[in-house]
């Protein structure tokens, strides 16, 4: 299972290096912040996708109505 194109061995290496650099307490704080950032990005991306879909549907309806005239 890959995460962002990174294999499990590489993820483990990153975790070990992070533990050595910042310690276990700081890692939890960093992971929590990273999770909040990812949540915000996903929420905004979903909102943007929804908005674009709505606008495209409205344009299709307008174009369809113009063709009926």
The DSSP-derived string for 17-64 is HHHHHHHHHHHHHHHHHHHHHHHHHHHHHHHHHHHHHHHHHHHHHHHH
Instruction: Give the pLDDT confidence score for residue 62 in this predicted structure.
Output: 84
Other beta carbons within 10 angstroms of residue 27's beta carbon come to 14
pLDDT in tens, 19-54: 899 888 888 888 899 899 999 999 999 999 999 999
pTM of structure: 0.57
Q: What is the 8-class DSSP label of residue 6?
A: B
What's the Cα-to-Cα distance from 23 to each of 35, 50, 52, 62, rounded to whole Å? 18, 40, 43, 58
């Amino acid at each position: 299972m890959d995460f962002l194109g990174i294999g499990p061995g590489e993820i483990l290496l990153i975790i070990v290096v992070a533990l050595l650099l910042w310690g276990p307490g700081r890692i939890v704080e960093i992971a929590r912040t990273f999770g909040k950032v990812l949540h915000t990005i996903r929420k905004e991306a979903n909102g943007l996708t929804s908005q674009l879909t709505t606008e495209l549907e409205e344009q299709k309806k307008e174009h369809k109505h113009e063709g009926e005239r």
